[in-house]
């Protein structure tokens, strides 16, 4: 990733996590790589953003105060049918992972996850999203 | 610690209660039946014995009365059959004597007397032709009453005898026919009576003189020390104590119009000897029954208390297991919570370090000159590395926690071994114990609760490492497929081995060789329970100084069963 910015520019990422500091630092690192990142600290905030803006990829925490990650996932997929959602959570189990994938999540990652892996997932998700948009 | 019950007094008390209850239930009806039968039986036998004595007396009374009546009728008949003239002829009298003695030799002599008490004719061995009986008591009695049977007396000849006489009246003249009765013939009627060993019959007259010989009391005509009762009709039966202190059963009746008393007397002990024998037998049988009841009570109580104790032990073991698994389960929940909570801050730490690395990459020019540039990078790398380590730990904890309560499912033993060894490896290394994993690839899965199997593996590994605590050594955990349907898990150590004396007991609950407080003695017992429940078996082989191997055999899940169950594995991208 010597010059990541060029390939990633234009990929719109919605980063949702109720851990403020986590959202902050990850969004900074993603922006550095050229992603257009919006952060939301709750499910409702994420949905507000999704209503007003287009996003290619969402990175979604599963356990949040207020609205549950799965609920946000469902609503997001309704609001933005082409969006690809990467689940990123510290409260995982294989059952929940399976449930997320069944509900339409693109992939599922456990916190803490290597940054490169997250970037990889976002990239492949955006490719999928692009493909889906072209098809439609 | 031996598997002795901690509550021995409790079981003793319980045993006592059960034994008492059983004994009461068994003894009371038994004792009631026994005593009712015993006393009824005693009563009836007693009545029977007394009755038999009574019957003896009654029949002899009849015999004796008949005998006397026959003799009198002999005389009457003779007197009526012959004229006075004939009776006055000595040859005629002799002829009559011979003819009446033809059947029984009961008459000693026979005499025909006139009213002056002089013999008109006499037949007999004593030569009494000239005897004068005019003053004799019996002569007067006959003359006034017509019939007379005398008591036994010695008479003129000094020989005991008795006489019978009848008055014969012809042509206004009174005569008298008199006969002496053979005392031997008569007494044989009475003396022949035998009852048991001591029973005898005898006759006494109103003056208390023996009219027949008494074996145990006195000779003929000697005075008796028995009390002479007033006349009564019929037979009287009673028990008495003789002057010599013997307890006797007595039956008595009056004969000969109240002149003679026929007494039948037998020692009580003798009379009731049959009863005593039977009662002794009854007592023996009763005692035997008692013994059987007691033995049965003891046996039943022992087996009951044993079973209760066993059930209690099992319950306790079960409780222990429940507590243990509960402990593991709550520990697991706690661990899961902690793991989840730690994941977030660790993720932030890693990301922040990554961010600093990002910035350092971007601003390389600034740090190029820094003498500590490599240190910065190393430190940031360390933060990342240690963060990853935290993640691994929490993952293990989560894996452990998630399965504490898991039901039976398809389980890969190799995975469990990995996890357990990861947990135990480090503490074991402090004691110089190395753990070698020798796991067969493509091991079939088994149908089991992973948490339980994990417990088995933990227990086996912990036992092995405890055995080598002081010496250090190597534990080898190996798995292999056994045939097409089985999986074998083996845990071997090269420790001191298990002594032969201990080997048969190692799976017993509460059996431990560890010091008090160090072990519950449940580890292997729980392993045994878990493996048995899964339909498998656990075996041990041990030799001194070479080491110990525990082998767990489990049946594997076949491919067809797998297909039926559906593929449960989830394609989760590794994070």
Cα of B13 to nearest chain A Cα, Å: 54
Please write the tens of the pLDDT for every residue from B450-470: 878 888 898 899 889 888 888
Please write the tens of the pLDDT for every residue from B306-324: 898 888 888 887 787 777 6
Other CB atoms within a 10 A radius of the CB of residue B509 amount to 20
Binned at pLDDT 50, 70 and 90, residue B406 comes out as low
Q: What is the rounded CA–CA span in Å between residue B446 and residue B536?
A: 11
Q: What is the rounded CA–CA span in Å between residue B3 and residue B504?
A: 13
CB distance from A106 to chain B under 8 Å?
no
CB contact under 8 A, A112 and B391: yes
What is the sign, positive or negative, of the torsion defined by CA atoms of B5, B7, B9, B11? negative
Binned at pLDDT 50, 70 and 90, residue B548 comes out as very high
Q: According to the model, what pLDDT value does residue B326 have? A: 64
Binned at pLDDT 50, 70 and 90, residue B517 comes out as low
Mean pLDDT in residue range B143-163: 82
Q: Among A52-61, B90-99, B156-165, B339-348, where is mean pLDDT lowest?
A: B156-165
Whether the pLDDT of residue B476 is over 90: the answer is yes
Mean pLDDT in residue range B342-354: 91
CATH for A4-135 is: 3.40.50.2300
Mean pLDDT in residue range B30-58: 86
Whether the pLDDT of residue B574 is over 50: the answer is no
Other CB atoms within a 10 A radius of the CB of residue B563 amount to 9
Task: Kindly identify which residue of chain A lies nearest to residue B336, measuring between CA atoms.
Answer: A91
Task: Kindly identify which residue of chain A lies nearest to residue B362, measuring between CA atoms.
Answer: A32
Q: Report the SS3 class of residue B444.
A: coil
Mean pLDDT in residue range B488-502: 89
Q: For residues B203 and B193, is the Cβ–Cβ distance under 8 A?
A: no
Q: For residues B198 and B76, is the Cβ–Cβ distance under 8 A?
A: no
Predicted TM-score (pTM) of this structure: 0.45
Query: Looking at residue B505, what DSSP letter applies?
Result: G
E-state strands within A1-136: 12-16, 36-40, 57-60, 84-89, 107-110
Domain ranges of chain A: 4-135
Q: According to the model, what pLDDT value does residue B1 have? A: 36
CB distance from A5 to chain B under 8 Å?
no
Strands A84-89 and A107-110: parallel
Cα of A128 to nearest chain B Cα, Å: 17
Whether the pLDDT of residue B561 is over 80: the answer is no
Mean pLDDT in residue range B426-445: 88
Q: According to the model, what pLDDT value does residue B510 have? A: 66
Binned at pLDDT 50, 70 and 90, residue B488 comes out as very high
CB distance from B351 to chain A under 8 Å?
yes
Task: Kindly identify which residue of chain A lies nearest to residue B569, measuring between CA atoms.
Answer: A94
Binned at pLDDT 50, 70 and 90, residue A27 comes out as very high
Rg (alpha carbons) of chain B, rounded to whole number: 59
E-state strands within B91-234: 107-114, 119-123, 147-149, 162-170, 173-181, 200-205
CB distance from A107 to chain B under 8 Å?
yes
Binned at pLDDT 50, 70 and 90, residue A117 comes out as very high
Q: According to the model, what pLDDT value does residue A118 have? A: 93
> Which has more confidence, B568 or B50?
B50
Q: According to the model, what pLDDT value does residue A105 have? A: 92
What is the sign, positive or negative, of the torsion defined by CA atoms of B121, B123, B128, B131? negative
Whether the pLDDT of residue B568 is over 60: the answer is no
CA-to-CA separations, B138 to B142, B493, B528, in angstroms, rounded = 6, 126, 113
Asked if the peptide bond before residue A112 counts as cis, ω within 30 degrees of 0, the response is: yes
Q: For residues B467 and B431, is the Cβ–Cβ distance under 8 A?
A: no
Domains delineated in chain B: 186-271 (3.30.450.20), 408-565 (3.30.565.10)
What would the DSSP string read from start to end of B526-565? Answer: HHHHHHHHTT-EEEEEEETTTEEEEEEEEEBPPHHHHHHH
B312 Cβ contact partners less than 8 Å away, ≥ 6 residues apart: B5
The winner for highest mean pLDDT among B4-18, B45-59, B342-356 is B342-356
């Amino acid at each position: 990733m010597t010059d990541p910015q060029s390939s990633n520019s234009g990929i719109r990422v919605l980063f949702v996590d109720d851990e403020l500091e986590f959202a902050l630092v990850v969004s900074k690192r993603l922006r550095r790589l050229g992603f257009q990142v919006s952060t939301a600290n709750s499910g409702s905030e994420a949905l507000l953003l999704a209503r007003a803006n287009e996003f290619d990829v969402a990175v979604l925490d599963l356990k949040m105060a207020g609205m549950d990650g799965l609920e946000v996932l469902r609503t997001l997929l309704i609001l933005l049918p082409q969006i690809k959602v990467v689940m990123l959570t510290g409260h995982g189990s294989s059952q929940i992972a399976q449930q997320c994938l069944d509900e339409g999540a693109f992939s599922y990652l456990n916190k803490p996850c290597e940054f490169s892996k997250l970037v990889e997932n976002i990239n492949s998700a955006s490719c999928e999203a692009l493909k889906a948009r072209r098809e439609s | 610690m031996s598997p002795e019950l901690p509550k021995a007094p409790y079981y003793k008390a319980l045993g006592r209660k059960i034994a008492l209850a059983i004994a009461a239930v068994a003894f009371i009806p038994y004792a009631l039946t026994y005593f009712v039968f015993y006393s009824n039986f005693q009563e009836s036998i007693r009545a029977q014995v007394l009755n038999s004595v009574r019957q003896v007396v009654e029949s002899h009374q009849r015999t004796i009365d008949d005998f006397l009546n026959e003799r009198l009728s002999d005389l009457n008949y003779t007197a009526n059959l012959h004229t006075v003239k004939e009776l006055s002829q000595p040859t005629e009298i002799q002829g009559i004597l011979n003819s009446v003695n033809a059947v029984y030799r009961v008459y000693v002599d026979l005499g025909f007397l006139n009213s002056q008490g002089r013999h008109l004719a006499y037949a007999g061995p004593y030569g009494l032709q000239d005897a004068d009986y005019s003053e004799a008591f019996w002569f007067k009695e006959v003359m006034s009453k017509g019939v007379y049977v005398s008591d036994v007396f010695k008479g003129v000849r000094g020989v005991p005898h008795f006489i019978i006489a009848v008055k014969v009246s012809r042509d206004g003249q009174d005569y008298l026919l008199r006969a002496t009765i053979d005392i031997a013939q008569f007494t044989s009627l009475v003396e022949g009576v035998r009852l048991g060993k001591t029973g005898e019959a005898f006759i006494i007259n109103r003056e208390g003189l023996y009219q027949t010989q008494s074996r145990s009391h006195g000779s003929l005509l000697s005075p008796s020390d028995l009390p002479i009762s007033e006349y009564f009709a019929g037979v009287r039966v009673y028990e008495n104590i003789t002057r010599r202190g013997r307890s006797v059963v007595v039956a008595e009746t009056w004969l000969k119009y109240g002149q003679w008393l026929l007494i039948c007397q037998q020692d009580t002990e003798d009379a009731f000897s049959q009863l005593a024998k039977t009662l002794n037998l009854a007592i023996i049988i009763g005692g035997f029954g008692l013994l059987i009841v007691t033995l049965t009570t003891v046996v039943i109580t022992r087996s009951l208390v044993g079973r209760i104790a066993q059930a209690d032990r099992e319950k306790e073991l079960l409780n222990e297991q429940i507590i243990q698994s509960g402990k593991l389960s709550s520990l697991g929940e706690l661990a899961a919570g902690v793991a989840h909570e730690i994941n977030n801050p660790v993720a932030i730490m890693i990301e922040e370090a990554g961010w600093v690395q990002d910035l350092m990459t971007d601003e390389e020019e600034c740090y190029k000159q820094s003498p500590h540039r490599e240190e910065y990078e190393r430190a940031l790398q360390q933060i990342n590395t240690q963060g990853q380590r935290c993640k691994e730990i929490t993952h293990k904890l989560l894996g452990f926690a998630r399965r504490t309560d898991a039901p039976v499912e398809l389980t890969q033993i190799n995975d469990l071994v990995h996890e357990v060894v990861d947990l135990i490896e480090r503490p074991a290394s402090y004691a110089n114990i190395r753990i070698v994993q020798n796991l067969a690839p493509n091991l079939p899965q088994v149908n089991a609760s992973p948490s339980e199997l994990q417990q088995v593996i933990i227990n086996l590994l912990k036992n092995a490492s405890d055995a080598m605590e002081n010496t250090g050594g190597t534990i080898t955990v190996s798995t292999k497929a056994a045939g097409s349907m089985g999986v074998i898990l083996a845990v071997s150590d090269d420790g001191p081995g298990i002594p032969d004396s201990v080997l048969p007991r190692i799976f017993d609950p509460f059996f431990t060789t560890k010091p008090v407080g160090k072990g519950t003695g449940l580890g292997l017992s729980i392993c045994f329970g878990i493996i048995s429940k899964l339909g498998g078996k656990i075996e041990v082989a041990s030799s001194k100084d070479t080491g110990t191997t525990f082998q767990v055999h489990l049946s594997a899940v076949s491919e067809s069963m797998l297909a039926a169950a559906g593929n449960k594995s989830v394609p989760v991208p590794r994070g």
